[in-house]
Chain A
Amino acid sequence: MKLLLLMYEFFKTGLFSVGGGLATLPFLYEMSDRYPEWFTHADIADMIAISESTPGAIGINMSTYAGYRTAGILGGVLASLALAAPSVIIILIIAKFLAKFRGNRMVEGALYGLRPASIAMISVAGLNVAKVALVNLNAFQLSGSIGDLFVWKALILAVLIFIGLKKLKWSPVIFIALSAVVGIIFKF
């Protein structure tokens, strides 16, 4: 019964959180208020930190964690599948529709508008990561000098990766792994 309730709650989260990423957060807070024994607000804060340091979207990570806390390994797996289920169902329908209506004037028009919006959202995501990775607002506010605003070693690494990605034909995965090593060695 607990398992069913858990799956129902995460299915609902998957169904109504549009936009991905942190869009699942309001649902998680709500769930925590309703079922404090599943996970607490502090657990969610911990989870945000953990999901920044593990692969996978925060929604997936949170469902696995809450599921495990509530009903063991099976709970973790089932809650994650329940979160994914609405995505799969809805996208399957849209994929069929898209294949049929490709070249349709309405669909092409919608995509014409969606594309720049999509790039804008990706830009914002990049900006948000840059705010954490490349600048240090606290140090800047304390000293007021521009030199303290940027995390210089991170900026140098960013430039090197940028050039490396252009010049070398390596997979991005290699650059991710190397960045982790550089982060550890130079104490980012």
Chain B
Amino acid sequence: MNDLLDLYWTFVKIGSVTFGGGYAMLPILERELAEKRHWTTMDDLRDYFSIGQCTPGIIALNVSTFIGEKRHGVKGALAATVGFLTAPVLLILLIAMFLTNFAQLEIIQHAFAGIRVCVCVLIVQAVLRLWKKSVVDAPSLVIYLAVFLLNVMSFFLPVRIPAAVLVILSGVAGVLISSCRYRKAQEGGEAK
């Protein structure tokens, strides 16, 4: 029970500082869950994000469910996800009740212009740290560049390709590339 409360409370804290959506969450998760608590590893976190991107639902919630499940099964998944929801839901309820002009307040705008700078740096650092283990060879570099460029230039393309489609195609490409390699390696083995 204490373990579940701990899980819930940890995700309440994570949920209350995750500005700018799921991706900004990664450095915080890394610090709180991988380094401090050893509940998961950076490699696992990266895989959770990869999967969370091509499955339905909000990425942040998908990742919370993953970590909670790993820690404590179905109960853990619920504790983590509800924990992640707690702060944003309370805050929006308060804003809806009392502060309808919240986003227009000058002090809030300045504060968030500052926070956006920080979020930007956090994301860059997350990319740098994940790079080495994700972009491991030429084909994976090609996948990275293709997804990146198609996304950035989608503005100029006649049809907007949904991000989820790109991610799923990358998964399929991954399966094809590795099975090609496997076959080659086997043929090589037989030739010897």
Contact = CB atoms under 8 A, between A and B. Distances in A.
- For B59, B61, B164, B175, the residue with the greatest tally of chain A CB atoms inside 10 Å of its CB is B61
A95 B66 contact: yes
Interface in A49-64: 49-50, 52-61, 64
Contacts of A57: 18, 21-22, 58-61, 88
A172 B96 contact: no
A20 B28 contact: no
Interface in B133-159: 133-135, 140-141, 143-148, 151-152
Interface residues of A, number: 91
Provide the main secondary structure of the chain B interface: helix
B170 A175 contact: no
A183 interface: yes
Provide the main secondary structure of the chain A interface: helix
A73 to B, nearest CB: 6
Interface residues of B, number: 104
Given A21-B21, A57-B21, A124-B151, A162 B124 contact: yes
B115 A180 contact: yes
Nearest to B104: A49
Given A116-B135, A118-B134, A129-B20, A61 B51 contact: no
Contacts of B91: 54-56
B123 interface: yes
A56 B53 CA distance: 16
A45 to B, nearest CB: 10
A81 interface: yes
B51 A120 contact: no
A76 B113 contact: no
A56 B113 contact: no
B38 interface: no
Contacts of A17: 56-58
A15 B164 CA distance: 13
Interface in A28-65: 46, 49-50, 52-61, 64-65
